[in-house]
Amino acid sequence: MAGQARTARNLLIYWMDGVAALLALAFVGMVLTVAVAGKISVPQALAAGGCLLGVCGLFPFLLREAFDTRPAPSVRLMAAGLLSAGAVALLPPVSAGTGDGMWAMVTFLWLSAAVLYLRAWAAVCTGAVVVVLTTAAVVPITRQPWQPVLLLQALTAVVMAGGVWLWRWLWWTIRDAYDGKEAKASLAVAEERLRFARDLHDLLGHSLSVISLKSELAAKLATRAGAEGNAAREMADVRRLAAEALAEVQLAVDGYRTLDLEEELHGVRAALEAAGARCEIDAATAGLSPAARALLAWAVREGATNVLKHSAATRCSITIRDGALEMRNDGVHVVGDPGDGSGLRGLAERMAAAGGTFAAGPDPAGEFVLKAVVRA
């Protein structure tokens, strides 16, 4: 639990402990008052005081039991109920002004703890029973009409029980707010991890595939007489691509994930043609927003990466019109299951997050088709 939430929890609990302590002092004062006035005997005063202090002493424990959850009624709750009933039974037998009927408040103190253990309907029923019983006990003592006494007892029960219930509700609201804040932070961390993993795949997958291809080509050229110059050029390209891959990883780490669509199309054409696949590009990109251009650049890169890694295509076409990208290649017959690749899943997630659509798979004509649509 966060430090601020723990502090709020302790403040709420100690606040209610203070309320219980003040009520205990008030009850002791009333007992001493009626005892000194001779309204009850000393043993009766001691018994009544013991019952009152017992309820007040158990009250903080009852609150702590039901503070974080709604538990089933416990032995402590039943013991506090018996003590409160005993205190009411020991009320002064005659009325002599203020203080006589106030002892009945101990039943509402117990009721305010009981509502934390009971469901709404059970709490209402229990409250009604307590109000009726305390009214029946107070009316003969105060010799007042039962209607105003019943109303006063009902209002006291509602205020005390409702106050304690709101006290716990306040804590649950604070706790849920902090839990939601922590869950949001955890979700943000998880999303950032997913973004980073997806970006590393998207960035390095293409570059490393081209590096692997050019390294293999350079090795073949190095074994041929008179092809040393070509091999050197291919290895220079490998070195350049490795430097670009490192720069792209740094961009991913920093969170700046922008690609230039024209540069990506140019690079994809060069990579595919180096692999022996003729690349035809028909792209109208002038009216696209920067965000749409970046998304389509990611799609072009991922599509080319899959062609290089998973197919032996001899032809690939790339068409872009009004924010809609279509990539076709004729190497589908040797593809294992490209639609299940993490790169395509990551691209689909990226497109969906931006409000676009994405689909990839073989078509009836025997070609592998990648389609991505973004908001132009």
Per-block mean pLDDT, blocks of 10 residues, the chain (376 long):
72 84 85 80 86 88 85 87 83 48 76 86 85 78 77 85 85 79 68 69 67 71 66 71 67 59 87 85 86 87 83 88 91 52 76 87 88 86
Domain presence at residue 308: yes
Q: Is 53 part of a structural domain of the chain?
A: yes
Are 60 and 155 in the same domain?
yes
Q: Are residues 294 and 158 in the same domain?
A: no
281 φ, ψ to 5°? -120, 130
Q: 174 and 275 share a domain?
A: no
Question: Is residue 10 included in any domain, yes or no?
Answer: yes
Cα 284 from Cα 319, distance rounded (Å): 8
| Domain contains 319 | yes
Look up the domain containing 169 and give its range. Answer: 3-181
Q: With respect to residue 143, please indicate whether it lies within any of the assigned structural domains.
A: yes
Considering 181, 205, 233, which residue would you say is the last residue of a domain?
181
* Host H or E run for residue 118: none
Q: What is the pLDDT of residues 53-86, one digit of tens each?
A: 888 888 889 888 888 888 888 888 899 888 888 8
Same domain for 62 and 169, yes or no, is yes
Of 138, 158, 181, the position where a domain reaches its end is: 181
- DSSP-assigned letters across all residues of 149-197: HHHHHHHHHHHHHHHHHHHHHHHHHHHHHHHHHHHHHHHHHHHHHHHHH
Domain end: 135, 158, 181, which one? 181
How many structural domains compose the chain? 2
Whichever domain contains 319, its CATH number is: 3.30.565.10
Asked if the structure places residue 8 within a domain, the reply is yes
- Inside any domain, residue 144: yes
On whether both 168 and 305 belong to a single domain, the answer is: no
161 shares its domain with 38: yes
Please, what's the b/e burial string for 138-155 (b: 16 or more CB within 10 A of its CB; e: otherwise)?
bbebbeeeeeebbebbbe
Per-residue confidence (pLDDT) for residue 372, from 0 to 100: 93
Whole-model pTM? 0.48
Q: Does residue 69 fall inside a structural domain?
A: yes
Say if residue 265 is in the same domain as residue 177.
Answer: no
User: Per-residue pLDDT tens for 2-16?
Assistant: 567 778 788 888 888
